[in-house]
Amino acid sequence: MGLFDFLSPNKYAAANNVIIAQYLVNNFTNEDRSLFKGQVIRILKAGGMGAAPEAVLLERFNSADKMAQLNFIALAAIDLNYPSPLQGGRFMSIRNPFREIPTDSQLHIATEQMRRANPDKANDIGIEFGKIDLFDW
């Protein structure tokens, strides 16, 4: 993967979103979780799953790749006009979180950029293992 691959607008946006959304999720209150869960459900319905029951939508989200999950959180943040909690970062719109999965090197570059821009939060910036389970929210 070369520099031009990283600079692809969709891949850059996806990597950026993942890093910021992970930081955001780590600092959510119970109220935030509830708000974002509802918005993610609305996004999934608008994306073609409108007739599906809520449990099916939640299972679809929970079974998705962690990067896709975090990009759904980023899209929810955009819809809710939620600001980025990180200096120098902003949520960016992407077309399909299920398809715009950043590579490890793209995530590494985005992580390092956010750490440099936020030295006081550097130890808290990065991807955590484990998927998000919206049933728990």
18 has a pLDDT exceeding 70: yes
- For 30-48, the pLDDT digits (tens) are 999 999 999 999 999 998 8
- Provide the CA 23 distance to its chain's centre, in angstroms: 9
- pTM (predicted TM-score): 0.90
Nearest to 72 by CA among 46, 104, 106, 103: 46
- The rounded distance, in Å, linking the Cα atoms of 79 and 87 is 20
The domain locations on the chain are 3-136
